[in-house]
Amino acid sequence: MFGDYSLSDLGAIFAMQGFAGLILFSVFLLMALGLAIIFGQMGVINMAHGEFMILGAYVTWLTSNFFQAHLPALFGGYFFVAMVLAFFASGALGMLVEWGLIRHLYKRPLDTLLATWGLSLILQQCYRSIFGAREVGVDLPQWMLGSFQVTDAIQIPINGVFVMVLTILITCAVAYILYWSRWGRQVRAVVQNRVMAGAVGINTEKVDRYTFALGCGVAGVAGSAFTMIGSTGPTSGQLYIVDTFLVVVFGGAASLLGTIASAFTISQAQSTLEFFLSGSMAKVITLLAIVGILMLRPQGLFALKVRK
């Protein structure tokens, strides 16, 4: 498949596709981060995670519409506002879901799987009723549309770089919260041993609720980024949940560095292969490679070494 291209062409193609994959990387990373936080914290596999992302996407769309209609002068900055709103909207919904549904099912992991799957269907129908079945897209502000011309053959899309920088900042913030803040210490204690965490005085229920909300909020931000590479419809989230699971498993659950590395690898592999092959073929090859690697390294790319 590489036969028809010269070496310098190939280099340019890889670079271009690599940068084109930046937004996909951002979406994967944020989604996986949210999913991993929730799974690591309470052992809940959130099947509705994609719908939390789509809520963020809809919020971004609404914000962009609002700015277009009422504050056209500030349209260039709508994305920042949208991200913050997306975070809080998805986070608030997450908190509500944890309180109303998840916390009653902590001792029944299989039931949480079913319950969150049911929730994803309910949310999809809600989106359909509220926003309509048609997919919606946002207009990007002018300054995000162009690209940096690096060489004749290589262009870097501005919005890709922008979203990636924001994603890295968010990832750093999450890392800070989990590894260096007092709150994060409580979260990690609960993850390690819920019963013992309670017995040293940590309010595990509160930790659960806020952690679930954090994971969902980060998914909402992923939704904001998502509006730049796809149009938003009631079921758009479904397409991403499987990829996100892959990222988490491949990276090795409970390892932030692993999640980053794996989101990067998978998004880049997909984006690069898509140039040469059809989208579904690219997926198949990525999947096969991951399965192969996981057979050799079942614990994922990164795993903590410590005596249990």
**Least distance from another protein to the Cβ atom of residue 196, Å:** 4
Alpha-carbon span 136 to 131, nearest angstrom: 9
- Contact window for another protein (CB under 8 A) among 10-18, 142-150, 201-209, 232-240: 201-209
Contact 266, 53 (CB under 8 A): no
CA dihedral over 92, 97, 100, 103, signed as positive or negative: negative
- Contact window for another protein (CB under 8 A) among 69-77, 103-111, 167-175, 191-199: 191-199
Which lies closer to another protein via its Cβ, residue 70 or residue 307?
307
Instruction: Mark residues 164-183: x for contact with another protein by CB under 8 A, - for none.
Output: ------------------x-
Using the rule CB under 8 A, is 204 a contact of another protein?
A: yes
Using the rule CB under 8 A, is 197 a contact of another protein?
A: yes
- Contact window for another protein (CB under 8 A) among 64-72, 111-119, 140-148, 184-192: 184-192
Which lies closer to another protein via its Cβ, residue 55 or residue 207?
207
Contact 44, 107 (CB under 8 A): no
Indicate which single residue of 13, 121, 202, 277 sits in contact with another protein (rule: CB under 8 A). 202
Q: Kindly determine how many residues on this chain lie close enough to bind another protein according to the rule CB under 8 A.
A: 22
Q: What dihedral do alpha carbons 208, 210, 211, 212 form, nearest 10°?
A: 80
Between the CA of residue 157 and those of 4, 94, 148, what are the distances in Å? 26, 33, 6
User: In angstroms, how far apart are the furthest CA atoms of the chain?
Assistant: 65
Which lies closer to another protein via its Cβ, residue 185 or residue 297?
185
**Least distance from another protein to the Cβ atom of residue 43, Å:** 16
Nearest to 90 by CA among 136, 134, 127, 43: 127
> Bridge partners of 232?
136
Q: Long-range contacts for 272-281 (Cβ within 8 Å, ≥24 apart)?
A: 272/13, 272/14, 272/17, 272/18, 272/21, 274/17, 275/13, 275/17, 276/1, 276/2, 277/1
Which lies closer to another protein via its Cβ, residue 139 or residue 205?
205
Using the rule CB under 8 A, is 296 a contact of another protein?
A: no
Using the rule CB under 8 A, is 304 a contact of another protein?
A: yes
Using the rule CB under 8 A, is 200 a contact of another protein?
A: yes
CA dihedral over 258, 260, 265, 267, signed as positive or negative: positive
**Least distance from another protein to the Cβ atom of residue 46, Å:** 23
Element (H, E) at 156: strand 155-157
- Contact window for another protein (CB under 8 A) among 83-91, 142-150, 189-197, 244-252: 189-197
**Least distance from another protein to the Cβ atom of residue 242, Å:** 29
**Least distance from another protein to the Cβ atom of residue 41, Å:** 14
Residue 156: φ, ψ to 5°? -115, 120
Binding site for another protein (CB under 8 A): 182, 185-186, 188-189, 192-193, 195-205, 304, 306-308
